[in-house]
Amino acid sequence: MGALKPPAEDVMIHAEGLTVGYGERPVLKDVTFTVHAGEIVTVLGGSGCGKSTLLKALIGLIRPLRGSVRIRGACITGSDREAALESIRRHIGVLFQYGALLGSLSIADNVALPLEEFTDLPRSLIADLVHFKLDTVGLADYAHFMPAELSGGMRKRAALARAMALDPEILFCDEPSAGLDPITAAELDELLLECNRALGITMVVITHELASIEAIATRCIMLDKSAQGIIAVGRPEDLKNHSADPRVRAFFHRQPSLMRPEAASVAPEG
Ligand SMILES: Nc1ncnc2c1ncn2[C@@H]1O[C@H](COP(=O)(O)OP(=O)(O)OP(=O)(O)O)[C@@H](O)[C@H]1O
Ligand SMILES: [Mg+2]
């Protein structure tokens, strides 16, 4: 196998020197980080800094220009890429930023899809599992609704039920609460926390929502467009209260003025 040293037991994701982009143009350069079992790691950063691009590289949808990604110890960027991806596919769930559900299928059929694709379970058992998953996200009474007949928040919850259909060990969510009102967004956060605590699911959640970050994040990884990489890693409260980086403070305190040169020269608190 690869020459890299084997990851520690509880390492679920390890990205090493990752450079990702489109064509020859890198969006992120030399990104290295680790996600441990049971963590909820949020990925933050302004629009266009490469959050979704990073997520696509982590799940093998795009191939990095350089560097490696290991998921549960399997290197999905090396020569055994296809086999490694095959071995992890059942163990990861993904909630995409846009249009996660198939519009031509009912909510129940959407949730059944991964079960039909990856298991040999009989239809009746799949139906029971689908019911259970929809119940978990509060949509048991909407099984036969089409995606277009649901509200935005309900669609997100249905997409979460589908992402969770195979009881993944790792869940990737790209801006799960974007476009939702604050209460619905908070309910979705609660749901993610429940899945994390009750089922021990490790999560990587892309979000700009400060309230969400403070509610769910074990740690944050902050990306920056000009830096083309990670500018901070830490617990949200530490980044908010103790970061010396004006870009980090500006984000956590919602104060763009902190990024002006005169603010940068002011000694940070703490
Ligand atoms: N399929 C693609 N082909 C070429 N360039 C792309 C593609 N997808 C994204 N990009 C470019 O990569 C950069 C990062 O995009 P990305 O979608 O990762 O940003 P993001 O941080 O997720 O932004 P947002 O918060 O708006 O979702 C942008 O400059 C974007 O134009
Ligand atoms: Mg995005």
- CA–CA gap between residue 67 and residue 51 (Å, rounded): 17
Instruction: Give the pLDDT confidence of 135-174 residue by residue, as tens digits.
Output: 988 999 999 999 999 998 899 899 999 999 999 999 999 9
- C-alpha closest to that of 191 among 154, 152, 239, 150: 154
With tokens 């996200």, the residue in question is: 137
Looking at residue 100, its pLDDT comes to 74
CB 188 within 8 A of CB 13: no
Phi-psi region of 85 (alpha: psi -120 to 50; beta: other; left: phi over 0): alpha
Contact at 8 Å (CB) between 204 and 43? yes
Secondary structure (3-state) at 120: coil
What integer is the mean pLDDT of 179-199?
90
Q: Count of H helices and E strands in the chain?
A: 10, 10
Name residues whose C-beta falls within 8 Å of residue 23's C-beta, 6 or more positions apart in sequence.
Answer: none
pLDDT of residue 99: 59
For atom 30 of ligand 1, the residue with the nearest CA is: 48
Strand, coil or helix: 32: strand
Helix (H, G, I), strand (E, B) or coil at 35: strand
Q: What proportion of the chain, given as a percentage, has pLDDT over 70?
A: 92
Instruction: Report d(CA 210, CA 50) in Å as an integer.
Output: 18
pLDDT in tens, 91-146: 999 998 775 799 999 999 999 999 999 999 999 999 999 999 999 889 999 999 99
Nearest atom in ligand 1 to the alpha carbon of residue 54 is: 18
Mutation pick for ligand 1 pocket among 18, 28, 47, 52 (CB with most ligand atoms within 8 Å): 52
What separation in Å is there between the alpha carbon of 267 and the centre of ligand 1?
Answer: 34
- Find out whether the beta carbon of 51 lies less than 6 Å from any atom of ligand 1: yes
179 CB near ligand 1 (under 6 Å):
no
How far is the centre of ligand 1, averaged over its atoms, from the C-alpha of 42 (Å)?
A: 18
- Let me know if 267 is exposed, middle or buried by CB neighbors in 10 A (0-12, 13-18, 19+): exposed
Q: Please state the φ and ψ torsions of residue 25, each to the nearest 5 degrees.
A: -85, 115
Q: What are the Cα distances from residue 154, in Å, to 120, 139, 183, 203, 225?
A: 29, 8, 13, 20, 32
| Residue with CA nearest ligand 1 atom 5 | 22
How confident is the prediction for the chain on average, in pLDDT? 90
DSSP 41: E
Whose alpha carbon is nearest atom 16 of ligand 1?
Answer: 50
pLDDT tens profile 57-80: 999 999 999 999 999 999 999 989
- C-alpha 7 to ligand 1 mean position (Å): 30
Closest residue by Cα to atom 8, ligand 1, is 53
The residue with greater pLDDT, 9 or 234, is: 234
Q: What ligand has the least distance to the C-alpha of 56? A: 1
CB 173 within 8 Å of CB 204: yes
Question: For residue 44, how far is its CA from the centre of ligand 2 (angstroms)?
Answer: 10
Q: Comparing C-alpha atoms, which of 252, 171, 228 is closest to residue 29?
A: 228
Residue labelled with tokens 């990884």 = 221
- How many A from CA of 205 to the centre of ligand 2? 11
Report the predicted TM-score, pTM, of the whole model to 2 decimal places: 0.90
Per DSSP, the three-state class of 201 is coil
User: Is residue 14 in contact with ligand 1, taking CB distance under 6 Å?
Assistant: no
**Cα of 96 from ligand 2 centre, angstroms:** 9
Predicted local confidence at residue 260, as pLDDT:
67
pLDDT per residue as tens digits for the range 208-239: 889 999 999 999 999 999 999 999 999 999 99
The β-bridge partners of 221 are 43, 233
User: Average pLDDT in the 183-195 region?
Assistant: 91
Quick one: which H or E segment has residue 129?
helix 123-136
Q: What is the CA radius of gyration of the chain?
A: 19
Quick check: 267 pLDDT over 60?
A: no
